[in-house]
C-alpha cells in the first residue's frame, strides 16, 4: 500500500515545533536530513546527546502518513494544531511501501573502522574482509532515528574502540556507552572482546533501538540499558565512551570522570573543531595523556584517568 510523504524545509530552532505538530496529526514517522547535502553525501543523524538532539542548522523534514490521506485536509489539520507555523512550503508525493522501507539502506553500505571493526546493515551480505575470522561485525538496523556509523563523530569512536581492542584493553572489560543512541558503540565494544556493556540515554526510543540491535547481534545477555536516572550509581568502568555534544561534555565532566576507573580510558566525541580547548581544559584535572584526533570538522578527545 502506498503512503503519503510530506516534505518541508525547516531550521534547527523550528524543528521541535514542526515535529510535534506532525505527530499530533498522525504522522507514522518523521525523519530529518541535512538540507544542503547532496543525496550521495547524505548522513544519518548521529547519536543524540543526553538531553539534546544535535541537528544541522537547516533541515529537510520528511513525514510519512497512511495511504489515502488527503493533502488538503492534512494541511488544514496542521494549521489548526499550530496556527503560528508556516506550512506554505510543504510538498507532497505518494511513495510505495518498499521505497520508504529501503530509503536509508539505499545510502548505507558496509563500513570498516580501524583494523577489524565492521558495521553492516542487517540484511546486507558480508563484504570481503568482514568474513575474516577475527572481524568484529555489528549488524545494525538504526531504523528512522540515528546511529548508523556514517557520521564522523561515530567513526572516530569506532576507530578508538578498535585501537583499544588491538592493545588488548577491551578484553574482559565492561564498557559504558554514555548517550548510546542505536547502541552502535556498545555493540562494537562487545564484538571487539569486551565482557559487558552498559548503554545510557535519556531517550527511551534510543534504549529500545539499542536493545533491538543487541538482540539482532546475539548480544542482549551482555548489554544493559538505562535512562540516566536509572543507571546504577557508584560503578566505575575501565572504558567509557561519550559521543554527545561539546556543551554536554563540559557540563557533565565531573559525572563522566566519576564513572571512569583509575587508569581507565575515556573517549569524548561530538566536538566541533574549535571547541576542543574548552573540553580539554575541563577534563585535564582528572585525565592524563589527553590526545586529540580530528576527522573533517569533528574532534575526538581521549585520555587516561589519573590514579
C-alpha cell at 166: 588491538
Q: Does 243 carry a binding-site annotation?
A: yes
Distance CA 142, CA 211 (A): 11
Q: Over the stretch 205-245, which tens digit does the pLDDT of each residue have?
A: 788 889 988 999 999 999 999 999 999 999 999 999 999 88
| Average pLDDT rounded to a whole number, residues 116-134 | 88
Q: Does 33 carry a binding-site annotation?
A: no
Q: Does 179 carry a binding-site annotation?
A: yes
Residue whose entry in the numeric block shows the C-alpha cell 544542503: 36
| Average pLDDT rounded to a whole number, residues 172-195 | 95
Buried b (16+ CB within 10 A) or exposed e, 138-170: bbbebbbbbbbbbbbbbbbbbbbbbbbbeeebb
Q: Over the stretch 47-62, which tens digit does the pLDDT of each residue have?
A: 343 344 445 678 888 8
Query: What domains does the chain contain, in order, with CATH numbers?
Result: 3-101 (3.30.70.260), 150-305 (3.40.50.150)
C-alpha cell at 152: 564522523
Distance CA 121, CA 253 (A): 34
- Please give the torsion angle defined by the CA atoms of residues 26, 28, 32 and 37, in that order, rounded to the nearest 10 degrees: -120
pLDDT at 85: 84
Distance CA 65, CA 295 (A): 37
302 within 8 A of 268, measured Cβ to Cβ: yes
pLDDT at 51: 40
Distance CA 148, CA 84 (A): 34
Distance CA 154, CA 243 (A): 7
- If one compares 298 and 38, the residue with the highest pLDDT of the two is 298
Average pLDDT, the chain: 85
| 48, β-bridge pairs | none
Q: Does 217 carry a binding-site annotation?
A: no
Tell me the residue ranges of DSSP E strands in 66-158.
91-95, 111-113, 117-121, 136-140
pTM: 0.70
pLDDT at 117: 96
Confidence of residue 30 (pLDDT cuts 50, 70, 90): confident
C-alpha cell at 301: 578527545
| Average pLDDT rounded to a whole number, residues 255-269 | 97
Give the DSSP letter of residue 82. -
Q: Over the stretch 132-147, which tens digit does the pLDDT of each residue have?
A: 999 999 988 644 334 5
Q: In what order do the strands lie in the sheet containing 237-243?
A: 223-226, 196-200, 174-178, 237-243, 260-272, 298-305, 287-295
300 within 8 A of 114, measured Cβ to Cβ: no
Amino acid at each position: 500500500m502506498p503512503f503519503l510523504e510530506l516534505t518541508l524545509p525547516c531550521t534547527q530552532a523550528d524543528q521541535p515545533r514542526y515535529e510535534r505538530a506532525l505527530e499530533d496529526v498522525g504522522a507514522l514517522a518523521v525523519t530529518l536530513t541535512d538540507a544542503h547535502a547532496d543525496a550521495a553525501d547524505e548522513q544519518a543523524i548521529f547519536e543524540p546527546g543526553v538531553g539534546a538532539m544535535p541537528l544541522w542548522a537547516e533541515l529537510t523534514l520528511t513525514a510519512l502518513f497512511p495511504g489515502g490521506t488527503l493533502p488538503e485536509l492534512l494541511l488544514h489539520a496542521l494549521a489548526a494544531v499550530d496556527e503560528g507555523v508556516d506550512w506554505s512550503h510543504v510538498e507532497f508525493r505518494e511513495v510505495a511501501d518498499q521505497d520508504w522501507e529501503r530509503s536509508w539502506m539505499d545510502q548505507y553500505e558496509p563500513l570498516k573502522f580501524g583494523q577489524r571493526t565492521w558495521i553492516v546493515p542487517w540484511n546486507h551480505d558480508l563484504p570481503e574482509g568482514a568474513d575474516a575470522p577475527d572481524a568484529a561485525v555489528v549488524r545494525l538496523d538504526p531504523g528512522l532515528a540515528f546511529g548508523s556509523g556514517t557520521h564522523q563523530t561515530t567513526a572516530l569512536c569506532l576507530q578508538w574502540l578498535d585501537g583499544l581492542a588491538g592493545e588488548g584493553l577491551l578484553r574482559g572489560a565492561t564498557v559504558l556507552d554514555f548517550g548510546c543512541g542505536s547502541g552502535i558503540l556498545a555493540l562494537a565494544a562487545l564484538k571487539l572482546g569486551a565482557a559487558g556493556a552498559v548503554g545510557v540515554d535519556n531517550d527511551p526510543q534510543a534504549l529500545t533501538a539499542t536493545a533491538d540491535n543487541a538482540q539482532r547481534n546475539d548480544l542482549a545477555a551482555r548489554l544493559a540499558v538505562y535512562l540516566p536516572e536509572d543507571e546504577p550509581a557508584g560503578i566505575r568502568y575501565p572504558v567509557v565512551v561519550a559521543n554527545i555534544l561539546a556543551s554536554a561534555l563540559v557540563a557533565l565532566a565531573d559525572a563522566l570522570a566519576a564513572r571512569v576507573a583509575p587508569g581507565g580510558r575515556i573517549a569524548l566525541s561530538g566536538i566541533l573543531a574549535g571547541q576542543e580547548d574548552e573540553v580539554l581544559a575541563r577534563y585535564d584535572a582528572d585525565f592524563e595523556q589527553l590526545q586529540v584526533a580530528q576527522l573533517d570538522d569533528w574532534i575526538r578527545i581521549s585520555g587516561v584517568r589519573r590514579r
